[in-house]
Structure 1
Amino acid sequence: MKCKIQIFLWAILTFPCTIITLDDHPLLLDCGANLESTDSSGRKWIPDSRFLTTNNHSLSSTAKSQDPSLPSTVPYMQSRIFKSQSTYTLPISPTSRHWLRLHFYPTSYAAALDPAAALFSVSAAGLTLLHNFSAAITAQALTQAYIIREYSLTTLNSPLLHLTFTPDPDHDRPNAFAFINGIEIIPIPEIFPPEYYSRAMQTMFRLNVGGRFIAADEDSGLTRTWHDDSPHIYGAGFGVTTRAGAGVAYPSRESRLAAPPDVYLTARSMGPNSTLNLNYNLTWILDVDANFSYLVRLHFCDFFFGKVNQMVFLIFINNQTVETDADVAAWAGGKGVPVYKDYEVRQNGHNQLWLALHPNVESKPQYYDSILNGIEVFKLNDTKGNLAGPNPIPSLKKDMSQDATATKFPSRSRKKSRLIVILASLLASVAVLVGLIAACFKQSSKGGAPWLPIYGGSSSSSQISSRLGEGLCRHFSIGEIRAATHGFSEACVVGVGGFGKVYRGCIDGNATEVAVKRANPSSQQGLHEFLNEIELLSKLRHRHLVSLIGACEENNEMVLVYDYMANGTLREHLYNINLNGNKGWSDHLSWKQRLGICIGAARGIHYLHTGAKHPIIHRDVKTTNILLDDKWVAKVSDFGLSKARHALDQAHVSTAVKGSFGYLDPEYYRRQQLTDKSDVYSFGVVLFEVLCARPAIDAGRPREQLCLADWAVASYRKGAMEEMIDPSIRGEINAECLKRYTETAVKCLSEDSIDRPSMGEVLRNLEHCLKLQSGGEEEEQHSVNDAAFADVLETQGR
């Protein structure tokens, strides 16, 4: 059903002038505490007992353990527990809008109550905020230790807010109880348009696009928390992140409340290559609750252009066009002036909100690009006064049933969609990322390098220098790197990844062409990934692994230098996108070429699993990490997330879930245990991507075709593989070859890792496919015998 989108333009120049003074102090309750306390940000919290109007069946309890990811002991280590309906009566400013924040830490408390039995509802101001809510299930699903729910409420001139907690027992939890660790009431000005003055909202997302995590105490007195946007970006289209060199030109005092300066000082754009920009959308995927309306607020501040029609782009929400001529300079009235726009969208039956930007060709702007600085998404209460959504799907840990003290969660079918698992894994990374970046920037604010503390501060520098000093690879000076890339010129950019930009350059008097990967200070990858690349690649030598030449660590820069791959990535050729110039690749890859590339990549991964001195799990196998040299030899790249198994349990590796959207092994996510079969699963997605020439996740397709892995397996079982094949190669494939190839790919995507083949078996099957395709003729360059590789060098120490 087509969504009806109501569009509202609210430039900061017309920001509401009625402002509640910030002299109205917030009310912070440390629930279950006996004394006043202070959190890690210096904010004072008071005991909650005197605000309870019905507390005959409540008790206070102390957490038995402190999770290291908690931002502070206050308010999380004390809890107020309710065994029957109980109400807080809270004094508020009668004419103000307020943030209401509820803090939950589902863990074992001294009261000996199972946190999994906590099932309850919360209501306030005539609204249902939570219904049948399980903080334990939610925390488990998101792999977070604690949960914060933020609401924006208007009080209709009442000086009191009644906040009620009601246990909701069911047949699985007859002894259900409610609990709360902390309550915040923050008076704020009316920051929403008049149409929303009487509406209540739940904050779903607040993202600093292209920038760092912003803690609550850095946000204009409104105590909003802004998170990194990169975990929500679709596919490999990360674009380019930039930071302004000048300050924000707020047009008025009121406009400063829209967002803090750091939101407007950083941005994400599509990049300098206009041809490339026309071939993709800058897209974010945001998980929301279905069957609610949402207010989507987009923040813009253009520091590049100050004239009308220099950059014009389209804005899509859920594949519907909401702006055809987005021109930030025209909206803001000048360069560096912030502006925001509001859109209302209805989510009928869908729990994903898609936001996309694309250059507007018809307007004939000077530059084909788009830009965004911030995203806020607010859920609006429905006609029944409801804001409550369902509990998310929990992840299942293998050892949970074996731990008598572990929280028990309801079982879930193992046949849940891979797509749901993959999307949940993105949210799982947010809590870890928030804690890391928040801590790092607190250090940064006290002085020192502007962004190196993300990677560990001064100790990071010594670690890098120590590794380079060990002679693991060549040590470049920053002067050599700048000379090689013409001062990190945008004209030299050939790609952008999770670590940062990749530049094409020349070293040694232009005698050697190289690829230079420069760390981005706002990247979610850092010191660990940098050292991991040096540690692994300096010890690995194989024809089908990219070669590391050297590294640089100077002036707060972290740079890796590789052999240059003239033919780019496998993905570029599958979709005819050339990141190295302004034109697409002239010819498509033949089926035989694709087979050869898959065989080369399989050899590289197989070598990692079995041929290296210590087995290595790549953990990020995808078509953008398979590079092609000038002779079309495939080389596996990007080892920042890789894991060596020699220091860990040989049966499995327990690790935080990491990987790429669309390629992630669902069993790895469920059990959070990494094995080499996770690489096999990802490679299975690559095999179908090569056969079908379509992305692992394609938002433009029907729901059943959205996830390539699910669609391919379903089509194979229905005998309908023919319709999936890339039309450009459909007539080239030998029938027996196709049968063997698809059988291999489907086995790689088996739900259970035990049913998947090893990479050695995958390699042998692919080599047999090539024989079938070639009519049984053996080709020297694709010999089955790995020992025949004359160009495979021994690893260090072998």
Structure 2
Amino acid sequence: MGNITWRFNVRKKAIHLVRLHFCDILSPSAGLWKFDFYIYTKFRRVFDSQIFGSTLAAPVFQDFVVQSDDSGYIRFSIGPNNDSGWKIAFLNGLEIMEFVTNTSMKLDQLEPEHPSGKHRDLVIGFSVGGVVLISILIILFLFAVRRRKAKPVQAMFLKDEAPTGRGTPHSWIAATTVNSFSPVPNLNLKLKMPFSEILAATSNFDTKLLIGEGGFGKVYKGTLPTGIKVAVKRSDSSHGQGLPEFQTEVTVLSKIRHRHLVSLIGYCYEGSEMILVYEFMEKGTLRDHLYIWKENSKSESTQPVLTWKQRLEICIGAAKGLHYLHTGSDWGIIHRDVKSTNILLDEHYVAKVADFGLSQSGPPDPSQYRMSLIGSFGYLDPEYVRTLRLTEKSDVYSFGVVLLEVLCARPPIVNSSRREEINLAEWGMFWQKKGQLEKIIDSSLAGQINPNSLRKFGEITEKCLKVEGAGRPTMIDVCWDLEYALQLQQTPVPREPHEDSTTDVSSNFVMTHYNSASNEEIFVGDDDETDSMPIFSRSMIDDPR
């Protein structure tokens, strides 16, 4: 049997994550075969049945980080190893994902090469003509739809009066909701803000007030007429999120309140503008305080390093917020995008969970199993990836990755020549199972961590990152365990008279500096509210109960 080769077109000189899928359904017993795997002709790895352990017919995967060359493709080959008793080789699946570091790609980077100028001109001519024709049809369709809806909306405007304290009439959302024309029903109209007020708060979206950018759009710092500082998130369709995420965010945050959940102050939906206004969180995201300052030398001197006690308190606060989401209604709310950039810190470093645009609430819907994956790479629950069945335990897994970020101060995915270091969850569990978690902690924590606190923290993280969701704890269990880890941290460690009082498990390790392999969503928001409000069973439909 010779080698089998596949070739895939990719961008030149780009970095890719390659995931190989295997499932041995052929072998009658383990240890019968070996085969070689090649990337281009430069890299070779020998796979044997040991990657499946003692269980046959079990799906497994292997990850590699590959940089493409000037050829414009990546070539993979497999073939039996010379020392293999059973001459077979197999590959059940292969995924290639490019690490995008610059989203403003130039057109000439995407334009294919053509053998002749005439052929290229012909293709361009047909393409432009097709785009123009489609654009005309879309404009005609939108014009017809607008004419059909114009009369009912206009009649409602004529009957409306200007709201007290506002200089403009009610928006078309309020008017058309009565006539069932609104594309965003059941929004809390008490939180609605006019676009003019938001323009004034952000000085017409002055770029000097830009403080972040994420999946929904850009985020600006603003000040309301009352003097309250706010974070204003303005939708941008090019960022990938839109009306569904906007509606979910408003519906969820307008009906729940908790000390450890970011508060929604208002929203605006006028014309094409979709804007969310949050409390301003003075200290930014948790990720900013873990390793962003290491990547930006300018902020290194001004960004204070979080102590281990502060990190534990932040984790406890975030865990309490997630617990409230999971248990605050009959079926609870699943956040779906738990990560360090969605945990914000106020001026007192109190943690609040943010960004509910992807959240899901209500009883399980069988149709969700057919949906595509939603979440952030590096935080995705492997059980959810495998089955597409989402549960609150998916949030628990993502939170386990955040716990490792807090301990190690590195991103969930990094570029590394060592395979076990690429994925933070796998890397952390590799050292946890060896009982040497202290070897990968953040170097800035050297000498700070009580060994008993570290041991308990490692146990919590290992439980959260179990492959099967049924084996993971609930968020309230995580809260209790983290509280215990904090109590252990504050308990003095007995030492022998000859021991150096400054010695600790973390003092002998210097953390390797990594560069993040992907961009994360960032925005900031502030104060907390402790009062509970009525909660809901379905975030998209039901009223508060």
Q: Quick one: which of 198, 211, 221 aligns to 1:494?
A: 211
Note if 1:291 corresponds to 2:6: no
Q: Where does residue 234 of structure 2 map in the other structure?
A: 518
Note if 1:694 corresponds to 2:433: no
1:609–1:617 CA contact under 8 A, matched in 2? yes
Cα pair distance change 1:589/1:448, threshold 3 Å: farther
1:473–1:534 CA contact under 8 A, matched in 2? no
**1:488, distance to aligned residue in structure 2 (A):** 1.6
Alpha-carbon displacement from aligned partner over 1:548-584 (angstroms, at most 9, x marks no partner) = 0111111311110000000000000001439999734
Cα pair distance change 1:288/1:695, threshold 3 Å: closer
Q: Quick one: which of 437, 448, 461 aligns to 1:745?
A: 461
Q: Quick one: which of 349, 366, 373 aligns to 2:106?
A: 373
Task: Provide the secondary structure at the position in 2 that maps to 1:577.
Answer: helix
CA distance in 1, matches of 2:377, 2:291: 18
Task: Provide the secondary structure at the position in 2 that maps to 1:447.
Answer: helix
Give the letter aligned to residue 39 of structure 2: N
Q: Where does residue 379 of structure 2 map in the other structure?
A: 663
> Structure 2 matches for 1:172-183, cutoff 5 A?
none
Give the letter aligned to residue 217 of structure 2: G
**1:355, distance to aligned residue in structure 2 (A):** 6.1
> Structure 2 matches for 1:329-728, cutoff 5 A?
371-374=104-107, 375-376=109-110, 446-447=138-139, 467=184, 471-509=188-226, 511-577=227-293, 583-584=299-300, 585-612=302-329, 614-646=331-363, 648=365, 655-700=371-416, 702-728=418-444
Alignment length (residue pairs): 395
**1:759, distance to aligned residue in structure 2 (A):** 0.7
CA distance in 1, matches of 2:237, 2:374: 20
RMSD: 4.3
Task: Provide the secondary structure at the position in 2 that maps to 1:503.
Answer: strand
Unaligned runs of 5+ in 2: 21-37, 42-64, 78-93, 114-129, 154-171, 493-527, 536-543
**1:644, distance to aligned residue in structure 2 (A):** 0.3
Q: Quick one: which of 479, 483, 487 aligns to 1:763?
A: 479
Q: Where does residue 327 of structure 1 map in the other structure?
A: none
CA distance in 1, matches of 2:340, 2:140: 39
Q: Please give the TM-score of this superposition, normalised by the length of structure 1.
A: 0.44
Cα pair distance change 1:722/1:578, threshold 3 Å: closer
1:204–1:378 CA contact under 8 A, matched in 2? no
1:498–1:525 CA contact under 8 A, matched in 2? yes
Q: Where does residue 312 of structure 1 map in the other structure?
A: none
**1:637, distance to aligned residue in structure 2 (A):** 0.3
1:473–1:549 CA contact under 8 A, matched in 2? no
Cα pair distance change 1:479/1:725, threshold 3 Å: same
Unaligned runs of 5+ in 1: 1-130, 134-200, 207-282, 294-316, 323-341, 359-369, 380-437, 777-788
1:485–1:503 CA contact under 8 A, matched in 2? yes
Alpha-carbon displacement from aligned partner over 1:162-195 (angstroms, at most 9, x marks no partner) = xxxxxxxxxxxxxxxxxxxxxxxxxxxxxxxxxx
2:230–2:278 CA contact under 8 A, matched in 1? yes
Task: Provide the secondary structure at the position in 1 that maps to 2:265.
Answer: strand
Cα pair distance change 1:202/1:764, threshold 3 Å: closer
CA distance in 1, matches of 2:365, 2:456: 35
Cα pair distance change 1:578/1:541, threshold 3 Å: farther
Give the letter aligned to residue 791 of structure 1: T
Note if 1:794 corresponds to 2:533: yes
Cα pair distance change 1:666/1:449, threshold 3 Å: farther
Greater share of helix residues, 1 or 2? 2
Percentage of matched positions with identical amino acids? 41
Moved more, 370-379 or 492-501: 370-379
Cα pair distance change 1:721/1:202, threshold 3 Å: closer
Give the letter aligned to residue 372 of structure 2: A
Task: Provide the secondary structure at the position in 2 that maps to 1:719.
Answer: coil
CA distance in 1, matches of 2:8, 2:104: 26
Task: Provide the secondary structure at the position in 2 that maps to 1:728.
Answer: helix
CA distance in 2, matches of 1:773, 1:760: 20
**1:372, distance to aligned residue in structure 2 (A):** 2.5
Greater share of strand residues, 1 or 2? 1
1:473–1:551 CA contact under 8 A, matched in 2? no
Query: Per chain length, whose mean CA-contact separation is higher, i.e. which structure has more relative contact order (CA < 8 Å, sep 6+)?
Result: 2
Cα pair distance change 1:353/1:611, threshold 3 Å: closer
**1:593, distance to aligned residue in structure 2 (A):** 0.2
CA distance in 1, matches of 2:15, 2:249: 28
CA distance in 2, matches of 1:354, 1:695: 17
CA distance in 2, matches of 1:683, 1:529: 21
Cα pair distance change 1:473/1:773, threshold 3 Å: farther
Task: Provide the secondary structure at the position in 2 that maps to 1:664.
Answer: coil
Give the letter aligned to residue 372 of structure 1: M
**1:699, distance to aligned residue in structure 2 (A):** 1.3
Alpha-carbon displacement from aligned partner over 1:258-310 (angstroms, at most 9, x marks no partner) = xxxxxxxxxxxxxxxxxxxxxxxxx87465996349xxxxxxxxxxxxxxxxx
CA distance in 1, matches of 2:270, 2:444: 48
Cα pair distance change 1:497/1:449, threshold 3 Å: farther
Task: Provide the secondary structure at the position in 1 that maps to 2:239.
Answer: coil
CA distance in 1, matches of 2:98, 2:185: 43
CA distance in 1, matches of 2:39, 2:222: 51
2:8–2:74 CA contact under 8 A, matched in 1? no
CA distance in 1, matches of 2:111, 2:451: 50
**1:471, distance to aligned residue in structure 2 (A):** 3.1
Give the letter aligned to residue 461 of structure 2: A
Task: Provide the secondary structure at the position in 2 that maps to 1:710.
Answer: helix
1:318–1:355 CA contact under 8 A, matched in 2? no
CA distance in 2, matches of 1:577, 1:642: 29
**1:446, distance to aligned residue in structure 2 (A):** 1.3
Q: Where does residue 85 of structure 2 map in the other structure?
A: none
2:283–2:347 CA contact under 8 A, matched in 1? yes
2:258–2:529 CA contact under 8 A, matched in 1? no
2:333–2:362 CA contact under 8 A, matched in 1? yes
Alpha-carbon displacement from aligned partner over 1:425-474 (angstroms, at most 9, x marks no partner) = xxxxxxxxxxxxx99x9689611899xx9xxx999976796758753541
CA distance in 1, matches of 2:296, 2:419: 33
Note if 1:754 corresponds to 2:470: yes
Task: Provide the secondary structure at the position in 1 that maps to 2:238.
Answer: coil
2:17–2:66 CA contact under 8 A, matched in 1? no
Cα pair distance change 1:751/1:445, threshold 3 Å: farther
1:499–1:520 CA contact under 8 A, matched in 2? yes
CA distance in 1, matches of 2:99, 2:412: 18
2:260–2:320 CA contact under 8 A, matched in 1? yes
Cα pair distance change 1:581/1:355, threshold 3 Å: closer
Cα pair distance change 1:443/1:607, threshold 3 Å: farther
